[in-house]
C-alpha cells in the first residue's frame, strides 16, 4: 500500500483497506435512515398510541402492542447478529428492513388492537436487526477513532427522532384523515419510503466483510430462546388478570424457566458457534455491563411507557404537546453522548460516566414518582432532562465498552448482544410496569373517589342534575367504584373538571407506583455498575477489552504503509 490509505480510505478492524470516503458516507446515510426509521417508529407510536387505542377501543390492550414488538425484536436481535457473522451483513440487513416495512404496512391497515399487536410483532422481527447490524457494519468499515465520530451521528439520529417523532405522531394522531386514511395510520405508513431508501443504499454499496464466520446457525439456542421468552412475557402480561398464583400463570413461568435453563445449556454446548458466543462472556466487563444494560433497560423503558400517559391523561396535554415536553430528555441524550463518548474512547475512563448516568436516572425516576395532578409542567421538563442526560452517559459508555471488548469475528453477535440485553430489559419493563399500572389503577381511582366524598366542589357537581346528565360525567359517576372503562379515555375531554379530578388523582397515584419501582430498580443497577474495577489505559490503548488492543495495532500499521 501507499499513501492511498489517506484522505479517501479507512481501515477496518481487520486492518483491511476499506472504501473511499464518499462511499462510506453513502453507506452511513443508509444506516442512519434505517436507525431513524426504527427510532422514529417508537417515538411516533408512543405519542399516538392513546389515540390509536381509543380509535380501536383497546387502551388496556396497548401493552400487547408494545410487548409483541419488543418480544419479537429481542429474539430477532440475537439471531440477526449471528446470521450476519455467517452470511454477511448486507443480505441480513436488507431482510431486516424488508420485514420492518411489511410490518409497518400491516400495522397501518389494522382494524383492531389484536391485529395491531400481531402486526407489531411482524414489525419487531425487522426492527431487531436495524440497530445491531448498523453498528456491526460500521465496525467492519472503520477503525475505532473514526467510528466514534459516526456513532455520535447515530446518537444524534435517536435524539432527532425523539424530537420529531412525538411531534409527527401527535400531528398524525390529531388528523381525522389524511390522503384517504385515518391520520394515525400514517404513523406507520411513513416508514415505507424511509425503509426503501435505506435498503437500496446498503444493497448497492456494501460489498466486503472481513472476519466472516463459518459456524452453523445455533438452532437449539434460537428455539429455546423463543420458548423461554414468549411464556415468561405472556405470564407477566396476564398475571394481574389471572392472578399471580393462578395455575395458568405458574405454568407459563415454569415453561419459561425450564426453557431458560435449556437455552443456557445450548449456549454452553455451542461455544463460539452459539447464538450469543460464550467466549464474549469471559470478559467480566462485558458480562457486568450487560447486566446493568438489562436493569437500566427495564427501568427506563418501563417508566417511559407510562410518562406519556401521565402527560396526556393526567395533565390533559395533546399528543403533540406531550411530545414537545420530552424535548429536554432528547437534548440530554444527545449532548451527554456527544461529550462523553469521544473522551471515554480516548482516555479509557468510563466508570465515572456510567455511575453518574445511572445516578441521574435514579434521581429522575424518584422525582417522577412524586408527580401528581397539580405538579407544574416545568418539573416534568427538568426531570425528563435529567433522565436524558443519564441515558446518554450510561448507554454510550456501555456501547463503547462492548465494542472494544469483542473479537472481530464476533462483532455482529457482540453488537447484537448490546441491543439484545437492553431489549430484554425493556420488554420485561414495559410488560411489568404497564401490568402494575393497570392492575392498581382501579383501586387507586376508587380510593380517590372515596376521599372526594368530603369535597364540597365534587359534591356540588355530582348533585347538579344538569351536570350529572352529561354522558361523560355519567361515566365518571358510575365508575366511582373503580370500574371506569379505560379502553377509551376520550370522555375526559368533555367531563366536568370537578368530577374528573378524583379520577385523574387515582391515575397519578397508580403512575407514581410505577415510577417508584423504576427508581428502585435503577438503584440496584447503580450498585451492580460500581462492582467492576476500572482498568485504566492510555490513549494509544483506548478501549476496555483485549480485542481493542489487538485490532488498533493492526490499523496503526496499515495506516502507516
Identify whether residues 41 and 173 lie together within a single domain: yes
Identify whether residues 414 and 466 lie together within a single domain: no
**Residue 429 φ/ψ region, left for φ over 0, alpha for ψ in the -120 to 50 degree band, beta for the rest:** alpha
How many degrees, rounded to 5, is the angle at CA 448 between CA 442 and CA 454? 145
Identify whether residues 373 and 464 lie together within a single domain: no
pTM to 2 decimal places? 0.73
Flag the least confident range among 9-18, 137-146, 482-491: 9-18
215 pLDDT tier (thresholds 50, 70, 90): low
| Assigned domain for 347 exists | yes
Flag the least confident range among 15-19, 174-178, 421-425: 15-19
Q: Which of 314, 330, 368, 302 is nearest to 66 (CA)?
A: 302
| Assigned domain for 556 exists | no
Q: Which grid cell sits at 479? A: 365508575
Distance CA 484, CA 474 (A): 10
Identify whether residues 363 and 473 lie together within a single domain: no
Looking at residues 60-74, what average pLDDT do you find? Answer: 74
| Assigned domain for 497 exists | yes
pLDDT in tens, 228-255: 888 887 777 667 667 778 888 889 899 9
Distance CA 404, CA 144 (A): 8
Identify whether residues 229 and 375 lie together within a single domain: no
182 pLDDT tier (thresholds 50, 70, 90): confident
| Assigned domain for 368 exists | yes
Identify whether residues 305 and 322 lie together within a single domain: yes
Please state, rounded to an integer, the average pLDDT across all residues of the chain: 77
Specify whether the CB–CB gap between 106 and 97 falls below 8 A.
Answer: no
Identify whether residues 459 and 399 lie together within a single domain: no
Identify whether residues 395 and 488 lie together within a single domain: no
Helices assigned H by DSSP within 142-283? 144-174, 186-189, 191-205, 219-242, 247-270
Specify whether the CB–CB gap between 296 and 428 falls below 8 A.
Answer: no
Task: Say how many domains are in the chain.
Answer: 4
**Looking at the predicted structure, is the pLDDT value of residue 318 above 80?**
no
Distance CA 59, CA 110 (A): 15
Q: Residue 466, Cα to own-chain centre: how many angstroms?
A: 47
Give Cα separations from 175 to 171, 186, 320 (angstroms): 7, 10, 12
| Assigned domain for 265 exists | yes
| Assigned domain for 93 exists | yes
| Assigned domain for 310 exists | yes
CATH number of the domain residue 95 falls in: 1.20.1250.20
Beta 17-20 vs 9-11: how paired, if at all?
antiparallel
Looking at residues 437-461, what average pLDDT do you find? Answer: 81
Q: Tell me the backbone φ, ψ of residue 9, rounded to 5 degrees.
A: -115, 160
Identify whether residues 201 and 232 lie together within a single domain: no
Supply the DSSP string of 258-313, one letter for each residue: HHHHHHHHHHHHHGGGSSS-GGGGGSHHHHHHHHHHHHHHHHHHHHHHHHHHIIII
Specify whether the CB–CB gap between 59 and 488 falls below 8 A.
Answer: yes
540 pLDDT tier (thresholds 50, 70, 90): very low
Distance CA 396, CA 388 (A): 12
Q: Which grid cell sits at 304? A: 417511559
Number of H helices and E strands in the chain, helices first, is 20, 2
Identify whether residues 29 and 153 lie together within a single domain: yes
Q: Residue 4, Cα to own-chain centre: how many angstroms?
A: 41
All residues at 6 or more sequence positions from 454 whose CB lies less than 8 Å from its CB, including other chains: none
Identify whether residues 113 and 167 lie together within a single domain: yes
Domain housing 475: 445-509
Helix (H, G, I), strand (E, B) or coil at 244: coil
Specify whether the CB–CB gap between 37 and 195 falls below 8 A.
Answer: yes
Q: How far from each other are the two terminal CA atoms of the chain, in whole angstroms? A: 6
Identify whether residues 358 and 494 lie together within a single domain: no
Domain limit, last residue, from 175, 199, 214: 214
| Assigned domain for 242 exists | yes
Given this model, what pLDDT does residue 156 score?
A: 66
Distance CA 488, CA 52 (A): 10
Which residue is associated with the grid cell 456527544?
338
**Looking at the predicted structure, is the pLDDT value of residue 292 above 60?**
yes
Amino acid at each position: 500500500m501507499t499513501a492511498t490509505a489517506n484522505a479517501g480510505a479507512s481501515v477496518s478492524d481487520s486492518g483491511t483497506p476499506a472504501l473511499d470516503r464518499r462511499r462510506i458516507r453513502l453507506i452511513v446515510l443508509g444506516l442512519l435512515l434505517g436507525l431513524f426509521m426504527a427510532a422514529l417508529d417508537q417515538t411516533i407510536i408512543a405519542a399516538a398510541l392513546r389515540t390509536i387505542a381509543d380509535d380501536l377501543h383497546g387502551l388496556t390492550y396497548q401493552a400487547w402492542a408494545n410487548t409483541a414488538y419488543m418480544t419479537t425484536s429481542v429474539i430477532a436481535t440475537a439471531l440477526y447478529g449471528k446470521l450476519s457473522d455467517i452470511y454477511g451483513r448486507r443480505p441480513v440487513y436488507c431482510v431486516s428492513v424488508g420485514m420492518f416495512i411489511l410490518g409497518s404496512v400491516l400495522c397501518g391497515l389494522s382494524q383492531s388492537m389484536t391485529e395491531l399487536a400481531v402486526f407489531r410483532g411482524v414489525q419487531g422481527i425487522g426492527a431487531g436487526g436495524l440497530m445491531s447490524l448498523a453498528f456491526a457494519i460500521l465496525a467492519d468499515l472503520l477503525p475505532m477513532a473514526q467510528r466514534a465520530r459516526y456513532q455520535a451521528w447515530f446518537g444524534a439520529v435517536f435524539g432527532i427522532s425523539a424530537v420529531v417523532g412525538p411531534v409527527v405522531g401527535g400531528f398524525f394522531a390529531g388528523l381525522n384523515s389524511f390522503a384517504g386514511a385515518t391520520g394515525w395510520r400514517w404513523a406507520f405508513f411513513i416508514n415505507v419510503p424511509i425503509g426503501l431508501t435505506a435498503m437500496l443504499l446498503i444493497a448497492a454499496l456494501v460489498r466486503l466483510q472481513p472476519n466472516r464466520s463459518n459456524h452453523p446457525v445455533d438452532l437449539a439456542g434460537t428455539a429455546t430462546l423463543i420458548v423461554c421468552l414468549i411464556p415468561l412475557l405472556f405470564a407477566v402480561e396476564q398475571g394481574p388478570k389471572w392472578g399471580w398464583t393462578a395455575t395458568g400463570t405458574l405454568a407459563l413461568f415454569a415453561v419459561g424457566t425450564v426453557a431458560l435453563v435449556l437455552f443456557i445449556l445450548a449456549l454452553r454446548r455451542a461455544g463460539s458457534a452459539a447464538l450469543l458466543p460464550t467466549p464474549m462472556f469471559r470478559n467480566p466487563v462485558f458480562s457486568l455491563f450487560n447486566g446493568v444494560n438489562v436493569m437500566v433497560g427495564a427501568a427506563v423503558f418501563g417508566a417511559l411507557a407510562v410518562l406519556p400517559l401521565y402527560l396526556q391523561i393526567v395533565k390533559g396535554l395533546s399528543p403533540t404537546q406531550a411530545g414537545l415536553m420530552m424535548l429536554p430528555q432528547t437534548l440530554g441524550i444527545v449532548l451527554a453522548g456527544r461529550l462523553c463518548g469521544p473522551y471515554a474512547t480516548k482516555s479509557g475512563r468510563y466508570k465515572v460516566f456510567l455511575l453518574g448516568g445511572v445516578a441521574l436516572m435514579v434521581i429522575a425516576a424518584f422525582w417522577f414518582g412524586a408527580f401528581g395532578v397539580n405538579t407544574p409542567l416545568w418539573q416534568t421538563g427538568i426531570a425528563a432532562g435529567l433522565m436524558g442526560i443519564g441515558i446518554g452517559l450510561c448507554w454510550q459508555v456501555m456501547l463503547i465498552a462492548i465494542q472494544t471488548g469483542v473479537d472481530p469475528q464476533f462483532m455482529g453477535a457482540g453488537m447484537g448482544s448490546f441491543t439484545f440485553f437492553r431489549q430484554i430489559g425493556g420488554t420485561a419493563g414495559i410488560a411489568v410496569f404497564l401490568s402494575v399500572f393497570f392492575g392498581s389503577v382501579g383501586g387507586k381511582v376508587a380510593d380517590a373517589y372515596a376521599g372526594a366524598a368530603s369535597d364540597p366542589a365534587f359534591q356540588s357537581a355530582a348533585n347538579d342534575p344538569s351536570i350529572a346528565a352529561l354522558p361523560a360525567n355519567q361515566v365518571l359517576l358510575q365508575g366511582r367504584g373503580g370500574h371506569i372503562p379505560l379502553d377509551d379515555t376520550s370522555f375526559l375531554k368533555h367531563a366536568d373538571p370537578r368530577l374528573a379530578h378524583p379520577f385523574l388523582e387515582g391515575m397519578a397515584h397508580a403512575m407514581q407506583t410505577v415510577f417508584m419501582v423504576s427508581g428502585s430498580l435503577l438503584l440496584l443497577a447503580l450498585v451492580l455498575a460500581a462492582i467492576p474495577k476500572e482498568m485504566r489505559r492510555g490513549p494509544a490503548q483506548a478501549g476496555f477489552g483485549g480485542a481493542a488492543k489487538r485490532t488498533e495495532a493492526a490499523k496503526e500499521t496499515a495506516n502507516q504503509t
